[in-house]
Amino acid sequence: MRNRLTEDTLCVGVARVGAEDQVIRTATLRQLGSCDLGPPLHSLVVTGRLHPLEVDMLRLSAAPDALAHLEVEDSSTS
């Protein structure tokens, strides 16, 4: 099966990284469409296959239900 970008693709929106007012939001592409990250500079990270440790870190900035459909493999096999 070929991977493709959909509205349910998990993404990370970041704004003003390194500044005191930085914003980091993990959400589906659909959810980020209505997320206010404030003034520029903005970046969008589109995720691919994630390691379980990466998923744990994304949970820190995740929107409600953003990770609900995500399948996580056992980290002992990674």
User: For the domain that residue 31 is a member of, what is the CATH number?
Assistant: 3.30.950.10
Q: Is residue 28 part of a domain?
A: yes
Q: Which residue has the higher pLDDT, 39 or 76?
A: 39
Q: Is residue 2 part of a domain?
A: no
Query: Structural domain tally of the chain?
Result: 1
Q: Which domain covers residue 30, as residue numbers? A: 10-66
Strand-by-strand arrangement of the 10-15 sheet: 23-28, 10-15, 42-46
Q: What is the pLDDT of residues 19-68, one digit of tens each?
A: 999 999 999 999 999 999 999 999 999 998 889 899 999 988 888 888 88
Q: Is residue 3 part of a domain?
A: no
Nearest to 47 by CA among 73, 68, 70, 76: 70
pLDDT at 4: 85
Residue 73 pLDDT level (bands cut at 50, 70, 90): low
Could you list the beta-strand ranges (E) of the chain.
10-15, 23-28, 42-46
